[in-house]
A and B are shown apart, each in its own frame.
Chain A
Amino acid sequence: MMIRIENVSKTFTLHNQGGAVIEVMRDANLTVGAGECVALTGSSGAGKSTLMRMIYGNYLAASGRIVVGEVDVARAEPREILELRRHTLGYVSQFLRVVPRVPTLDVVAEPLRAVGVPGNAARARAEELLARLNIPETLWGLSPTTFSGGEQQRVNIARGFAHEYPAMLLDEPTASLDAVNRATVLSLIEEAKARGAAIVGIFHDEAARDRVADRQIDVSNFTPARVA
C-alpha cells in the first residue's frame, strides 16, 4: 500500500478561547494502493481537507499512523517530511502560493529542479504542461501572482503534475475550470494513475469523481458525534 492511515484522530485546542478542545476526527482508516484513486466525500466541514492536510503533514495528527511509502508522517522529523514531499508525495491545493517575482515557467519547473532534474529538461516539461493547460506563452515569463483565479489554478496543477510523484493529494483539482481545461486535468489524473500513482482526491464535481475515482470514502464516518 502506498498510503495507509490507521486509527487517526485529530483535535484542535483553542488556547485563546478558554482552552476549548474540539475533536474533529476519530478512528480514521484508509488505504490507497498504487494506481488507485480514492475520493473523499462528506458534507462541508466533515473533515475532508483536514484528513488531506494530515496526510501531507501540514496538520498534526493527535494519534494514529499515517504511512506514505516508508514514512509515518504522524511521527516523522521535519526533514523526513520535506524529503517525502520532494520525491514521493505531491499536493495540489486550491490556492497557489509562490514567491513574488518568480516567472510562471520557473514556478512550474521548481518541483523538478528540487529532485535534481537539469534546468533545460525541467523547463521543457513545464512548457509542455503549461501548453496543455492553455496558459498563453506570453504569460510564461511573468509571475503568476497577477493572473486570474482560473489561470492560477491551472499553473498550480501544472506545478503539481510536473514531477511524477508516486502519491498525490488533489484538493478540488477541477474547480473553477472550463470544460476544455477540466478534461485536460482529468486526463492528467488518469495518466498519473496509469503510471502507478496512488491518489487521494476531493471532488465536488461528481461527474469528474465518477470518472477518475475507483472508490469513495465518506469521511463523516470518522466524525465524532458532537456533544451539544
Chain B
Amino acid sequence: MTPLLSVKNVTKMYGDRIGCADVSFDLYPGEVMGIVGESGSGKSTLLAALAGHHAPDRGEVHFDTRAEGLRDTLTMREPERRMLARTDWAFVHQNPRDGLRMSVSAGGNVGERLMAVGARNYGDIRDTATDWLGRVEINADRIDDRPRAFSGGMQQRLQIARNLVTGPRLVFMDEPTGGLDVSVQARLLDLLRGLVREMGLSAIIVTHDLAVVRLLADRLMVMKSGHVVESGLTDQVLDDPQHGYTQLLVSSVLQV
C-alpha cells in the first residue's frame, strides 16, 4: 500500500535551538495519527513544516498526489503546493480566528473554500454550505451571521466545516479542542470522529490532551525537545509506555 504521506528526516532549527529533529514516519490512507508532548516539544513546529507553513532546514515530505503519485511537497513549485493545500489538505487551527475570516458570514466562510476550487453557481454553493453547517450542528438560520456572533465551540465547528467542505484527503489539526470546555470538547470529538470515518480522511492531530488522542488517534508519536521518543499504536503507547518521558506524561494525568 502506498502511504498518503511519507516524511523523512524533517529537521527545523531556530538558530541554535532545535525545533524538531530527524522526524520520519509514513501515514497511510484512513489513518489518524496523534502527536503529543508538552509545550515546546516541537509538535506544532513539525505540523507547520508538514503542512508547508514554513520550510524545514532538512528532510522530505512526500504526498501521494492524485495525478503523479508521491511527490516531495518541499521541492514542489509554490503554485502547485498552494493548489494541494486548497484541494487535498486542510488545516484546523487551535484558535478559530486563525482559520476563519471573521468579517465574512458563516455561509461565506464555507463557500469561499468551494469558490477557491472553482465552484461558481451561487445556489449550489449556498446549498452545500447549508448542508455542511448542518453536519457540524450549526442551525441553518445562522448562515448569514458572522463568526464573531458565535460561541467558541461553534466557531471551531465552523472552522471544521470550512476545512472539510472541499473533501480533502489529509487534515492537519493543531489542538482542535484546546480552549473549549469539556462538554463542548466531547461534542466536537464525537463529530470529528464521525467525519473522519465517514469521509475516510487521514489526519495528524497535535495535542497535549491524552484523552483526545485515545478517542481520535489510531497511532501516537510522543515528542520531547524536538525528538520523537516513542511511537506506536495509541492504546499500547498509553497503557504500556516504554520511554521514561512517556511514562511520566501518562502518570501525570489527573484522574477524575
Contacts and interface: CB of A to CB of B under 8 A. Distances in A.
B232 interface: yes
A101 B188 CA distance: 10
B31 A79 contact: yes
Given A15-B243, A78-B218, A78-B219, A59 B190 contact: no
Contacts of A79: 28, 31, 218-219
A13 B242 contact: yes
B239 A59 contact: yes
Given A60-B240, A79-B218, A102 B247 contact: no
A81 interface: yes
B233 to A, nearest CB: 4
A14 interface: yes
B186 A101 contact: yes
A182 to B, nearest CB: 28
Query: Helix, strand, loop or mixed for chain A's interface?
Result: loop
Nearest to A82: B218
A101 B187 contact: yes
A19 to B, nearest CB: 8
Contact of B239 (A53, A81, A100): A53
Nearest to B214: A97
Contacts of B193: 99
Contacts of B28: 79
Contacts of B247: 14-16
B5 to A, nearest CB: 13
Contact of B240 (A58, A81, A101): A58
Interface residues of A, number: 19
B240 A15 contact: no
Contact of A101 (B190, B219, B232, B234): B190
B243 A81 contact: no
A53 B233 CA distance: 13
A59 B218 contact: no
A78 B232 contact: yes
A57 interface: yes
Contacts of A15: 243-244, 247-248
A114 to B, nearest CB: 8
Interface in A34-85: 53, 57-60, 78-79, 81-82
Contacts of B243: 15
Given A14-B247, A100-B189, 11 more contacts: A15-B244, A53-B239, A53-B240, A57-B233, A57-B236, A59-B239, A60-B236, A78-B233, A78-B234, A78-B236, A99-B189
25 contacts: A12-B240, A14-B247, A15-B243, A15-B248, A16-B244, A16-B247, A53-B240, A57-B233, A57-B236, A58-B240, A60-B232, A78-B218, A78-B232, A78-B234, A78-B236, A79-B28, A79-B218, A79-B219, A82-B218, A99-B189, A99-B190, A99-B193, A99-B215, A100-B189, A100-B190
Closest 8 A-B residue pairs measured CB to CB?
A15-B244, A100-B186, A78-B233, A59-B240, A78-B219, A101-B190, A99-B190, A60-B240
